[in-house]
Structure 1
Amino acid sequence: MVLSWKNTENALPFYKRNAPLRGSTDTLYQPNNGNFLKEVELVAQFDPVPKEHIAKVQGGASHTSYLGNIIQNELIDCISERVVECMVTEIRQSKYFSIILDCTPDLSHKEQLSVIIRIVAAEGTAQIKEYFMGFLEAEQTTGEGLSTLILKKLKELNIPFEDCRGQSYDNGANMKGKNKGVQARLLQLNPRALFVPCGAHTVNLVVCDAAKSSSDATGYFGYLQKLFNLFSASTQRWSTLKKHVDITLKSWADTRWESRINSVEVVRFQAAKVRDALLEVRASTADPAIKIEAQALAEEVGSYRFSICTVVWYDILRKVQTVNKLLQSQCMHLDVAVDILKKAETSLVSYRDTGFVDAQTSAKEVCEEMNVEAALKQKRLRTTKRQFSYEASDESITDALKKMDYSFFNVVVDVAIESLRERTGMMSDVAKKFSVLISFPDLPASELEKQAKYLCNTLTSGDQAA
């Protein structure tokens, strides 16, 4: 059957396929009655049984239509139960599995724990499969609360936790904590459920740790968010921004890690244009509050301190983002991932020695483009009262650049290095345990036996072995 645009109302309405299963009306042959009733209407064109049923419903002969919201919800539940049943069957056939958990708040401000189970399907050609088992509402986000929640879910699905051989989460303290985190509590119950840090979160949370390490760091991203809020709150101001810049401002999102480098990129390479847009907003607006805010942000964007922070953050984020993209590759090997993380750590260590001097040079070029003075304003230094007579007074750091080097650059880079080093160590431990599976074709017999025994001991608990 060939359909034209003229008879789409009588056939499959292709242009309405974004409608939900249930629409805003429960009446047949209405434009907004949803996908379910639209499918019933379509089937009725070719099947006499539903056609006759629909005719009775429309004629008022039948009071029970089986087309309302209750039956729709029952159908969804039936399909959901059947899908979950099939997934659980395949998981139990594969026996061993890993769990992947992540928490995120929804629009109703409730914490939702997503549960994913990964298996190696053994039928035919072995292949890795991941099954999304649903969301769990987490009333308590502590390690104890989350571990209890996932164990309860596995018990309901009749999936024995004793067969779990891996767990992977983000790097939040409640998840990865060595003492009271989810991974520690689950390891107490099953020592063979080895913790593997999430590759995608591993590098990005390095930036989060660094961003919280210094008041200059947190204040800097606060200014970026204020910039976005100022322009995005008005279509006219957004048009003013787009008139000046080639890349628009991006918001700093807590759940989208890539937004960090996107939010910095525009002020790194188009700071002068952003400042011109702010000055135009200040001159054109009649709102005194907007005028004051635009003036304050223009002064901040044009400051030498802001330019240095921008260059430093962009350099760190660029290094981190490159590694992040590589780690998210589907064909990434564990030993290669460890090597990439070690090189990233080495790169940051090297950057610590010369990065601040290079950032000053780049920041001066940005200030010259904006025609502003490349100088830091000296902040007033507060003195503290000495408590004991034998204490010597701390030496004040009078040079503003030196103070920024110590209190901002060194702190941020050191925290990033330490955070990356911690995650590299966790990934290296995993690679060491499974090294025999990575390089066994090249190992001599004695080393092969040694590493095989090491892996066997890792996967053995008491009298039970994997």
Structure 2
Amino acid sequence: MTLVLHYVNPNGQVVERFIGIKHVASTTTLSLKAIIDNVFSGHGLSIFRLRGQSYDGASNMRVEFKGLKSLIMKENECAYYIHCFAHQLQLALVALVKNHVDVQSLFNIVANVVDIVGASPKHRYILRDKQAMVVFEALKSDELSNGRGLNQDTNLKRSNDTRWGSHYGTLISIITMFPSLIDVLEIIADDGSTSEQRCEAKMDHLILWICALMLSFQN
């Protein structure tokens, strides 16, 4: 759970400050409220001076009678709830993109690739091992820099419709692991557990290669 404060400083400027990330073992409204109370207490803050609260659209946050917003407003009626504008923008962007056929088709293919490779621990291990070998060879030939925090294990990232930035992360992981991903799709196309899985892997393999060729011609 990430906590951020907005306040107005003595100069009349709106200031935003990140104050912490807390591990959430339970997402019940009572547990979330207890975390907020602890954070406020630790920083010498009072819930009674709160004038607003903003979250995403999760039901445990916004539900009218038992949500987190309601628990806080029972203590402080001035802590009005506003749906997070950044989250609203994410939802609007995703809805807009889904109306664009080419973009939606791209992410349908991406989601299918992630599902096929990520559904099996065996396939994930093969992908990880092949990518580790690619990184090792690149380090030997000085194609990659070595150092602390670099060249860590990379996995295929699954995108989330309510977090548009996650789509970017998914594309970056596919680009980074492209040769290894192609190898794994070839393995699944030959040795997949079902004919449907083998067919999908073969089709995705072909599509990714076509995309790579088109990009190379454009460059």
- TM-score bracket, shorter-length normalisation: 0.5 to 0.7
State how 1:36-435 maps to structure 2 within 5 Å.
Answer: 103=1, 114-122=2-10, 125-204=11-90, 221=111, 223-227=113-117, 229=124, 231-235=127-131, 251-252=157-158, 257-260=164-167, 263=170, 278=182, 282=186, 291-293=190-192, 295-301=198-204
* Displacement after TM superposition at 1:250 (Å): 5.6
Q: Deviation string for 1:269-328 (max 9, x for gaps)?
A: x9xxx8xx848963xx6xxx673248444345389xxx9xxxxxxxxxxxxxxxxxxxxx
* Displacement after TM superposition at 1:258 (Å): 1.5
Q: Is the 8 A contact 2:113 2:201 kept in 1?
A: no
Using the alignment, how far apart are the partners of 1:236 and 1:149 within structure 2?
Answer: 40
Unmatched 5+ residue regions in structure 2? 99-106, 119-123, 136-154, 215-219
Using the alignment, how far apart are the partners of 2:39 and 2:132 within structure 1?
Answer: 50
Q: Deviation string for 1:22-53 (max 9, x for gaps)?
A: xxxxxxxxxxxxxxxxxxxxxxxxxxxxxxxx
Q: Is the 8 A contact 1:227 1:297 kept in 2?
A: no
Count of residue correspondences: 166
* Displacement after TM superposition at 1:224 (Å): 2.4
Provide closer, same or farther for how the CA distance between residues 236 and 140 of structure 1 changes in structure 2, counting only shifts above 3 A.
closer
* Displacement after TM superposition at 1:238 (Å): 6.6
The amino acid that maps onto 1:221 is: A
Using the alignment, how far apart are the partners of 2:70 and 2:108 within structure 1?
Answer: 31
Give percent identity, aligned residues only.
19
Using the alignment, how far apart are the partners of 2:21 and 2:168 within structure 1?
Answer: 30
Using the alignment, how far apart are the partners of 2:109 and 2:63 within structure 1?
Answer: 28
The amino acid that maps onto 1:193 is: A
Provide closer, same or farther for how the CA distance between residues 263 and 115 of structure 1 changes in structure 2, counting only shifts above 3 A.
closer
Using the alignment, how far apart are the partners of 1:204 and 1:166 within structure 2?
Answer: 21
Q: Is the 8 A contact 1:116 1:130 kept in 2?
A: yes
Provide closer, same or farther for how the CA distance between residues 219 and 290 of structure 1 changes in structure 2, counting only shifts above 3 A.
closer
* Displacement after TM superposition at 1:198 (Å): 1.8
Provide closer, same or farther for how the CA distance between residues 135 and 218 of structure 1 changes in structure 2, counting only shifts above 3 A.
same
Q: TM-score, normalised by structure 1?
A: 0.28
Q: Deviation string for 1:62-118 (max 9, x for gaps)?
A: xxxxxxxxxxxxxxxxxxxxxxxxxxxxxxxxxxxxxxxxx2xxxxxxxxxx32222
Q: Deviation string for 1:382-407 (max 9, x for gaps)?
A: xxxxxxxxxxxxxxxxxxxxxxxxxx
Q: Is the 8 A contact 1:166 1:195 kept in 2?
A: yes
Q: Is the 8 A contact 1:167 1:196 kept in 2?
A: yes
Provide closer, same or farther for how the CA distance between residues 198 and 302 of structure 1 changes in structure 2, counting only shifts above 3 A.
same
Using the alignment, how far apart are the partners of 1:180 and 1:222 within structure 2?
Answer: 38
The amino acid that maps onto 2:111 is: F
Q: Deviation string for 1:413-459 (max 9, x for gaps)?
A: xxxxxxxxxxxxxxxxxxxxxxxxxxxxxxxxxxxxxxxxxxxxxxx
Provide closer, same or farther for how the CA distance between residues 280 and 142 of structure 1 changes in structure 2, counting only shifts above 3 A.
closer
Using the alignment, how far apart are the partners of 2:3 and 2:184 within structure 1?
Answer: 49
The amino acid that maps onto 1:165 is: R
Provide closer, same or farther for how the CA distance between residues 218 and 178 of structure 1 changes in structure 2, counting only shifts above 3 A.
farther
Q: TM-score, normalised by structure 2?
A: 0.53
Q: CA RMSD in A?
A: 4.7
SS of corresponding position for 1:196: strand
Provide closer, same or farther for how the CA distance between residues 129 and 260 of structure 1 changes in structure 2, counting only shifts above 3 A.
same
Q: Is the 8 A contact 1:278 1:295 kept in 2?
A: no
Using the alignment, how far apart are the partners of 1:141 and 1:218 within structure 2?
Answer: 31
* Displacement after TM superposition at 1:165 (Å): 0.8
The one of the two structures with greater contact order (alpha-carbon pairs below 8 A, sep at least 6) is 2
* Displacement after TM superposition at 1:164 (Å): 0.8
Using the alignment, how far apart are the partners of 1:236 and 1:153 within structure 2?
Answer: 41
Using the alignment, how far apart are the partners of 1:281 and 1:157 within structure 2?
Answer: 52
Q: Which has the larger radius of gyration?
A: 1
